A and B are shown apart, each in its own frame.
Chain A
């Protein structure tokens, strides 16, 4: 079965520091991959998505992610974190176009 692994449950970074959130997936075919962000008590907001083509995708709020097929990874990055980026981040894979399979999430804390 398809699965998504986010190995880091919590990450703490200082404001202005760079960020990388890890995501690994298990999927037989070429995956459609997503990163979502969720603030406490809120729904999910799409940050970026990968379907095909350029393996480095740009998203909103200054985030980017790189698809590496050889490593089955889709890591999320941001060069300089802002306090407002504190939230929970979810990686997801599109399963046959019918639903999203999510990882367990990574909680990002930002130190001032």
Chain B
């Protein structure tokens, strides 16, 4: 078990470009979450998957954002036509089921996006 893996760790892109991030959850974890964290703030929920089904999306997830989890394994988060306001840390987390007394959500180290 290598934990939740995110790639890349850092991404610098020019405004208007598209970027894609990847998250590899802990194997056998059915749930996968994406959060965004801006400087000085706590993480904010973006979306989550139960297996391959995307079950909820935050209003923060504008039309420029899309997330997928084909085959219920890894997930990708794509941002189209990036804006400076998209600069943030994008965190991925996974859990076997809904977190309870016996389980928890494990977070990756995040992808730091800088839009210049």
Which residue of B is nearest A45, CB measured? B107
Flag whether B108 is at the interface (Cβ < 8 A).
yes
Size class of the A contact interface (CB-based, 8 Å): 20 to 34
Q: Among A32, A43, A99, which residue has its beta carbon within 8 angstroms of that of B91?
A: A43
Residues facing A in B67-100 (CB within 8 A) are: 91, 93, 98-100
Would you call B112 an interface residue if the criterion is a C-beta within 8 Å of the partner chain's C-beta atoms? yes
Confirm or deny: A74 has a beta carbon within 8 angstroms of a beta carbon on chain B.
Answer: no
A-B contact count, CB below 8 Å? 59
B15–chain A nearest beta-carbon distance, Å: 24
Across the interface, do B100 and A43 meet the contact criterion of CB distance under 8 Å?
no
Q: Mark B1-37, 1 if CB is under 8 A from A, else 0.
A: 0001000000000000000000000000000010100
Q: Which residue of A lies closest to B46 (CB)?
A: A99
Chain A hits for B42, CB < 8 A: 4, 90, 92, 102-105
Contact A104 B100 (CB under 8 A): no
Could you tell me the distance in whole angstroms from the C-beta of B111 to the nearest C-beta in chain A?
A: 10
Chain A at the B interface: SS class: strand
A83 within 8 A of B: no
| Bound Cα distance from A52 to B100, whole angstroms | 10
A43-B109, A102-B43, A104-B40 given; A97·B98 CB < 8 A: yes
Let me know if A105 and B41 touch, CB within 8 A. yes
Q: Once the chains bind, are A43 and B56 in contact (CB under 8 Å)? A: no
Residues of chain B within 8 A (CB-CB) of A45 are 107
- Residues of chain B within 8 A (CB-CB) of A49 are 99, 101, 104
Q: Which residue of B lies closest to A99 (CB)?
A: B45
Central interface residue in B41, B42, B91, B99, by most chain A CB within 10 Å:
B42
Min Cβ gap B26→A in Å is 13
Q: Which residues of A contact B48 (CB under 8 A)?
A: 98-99
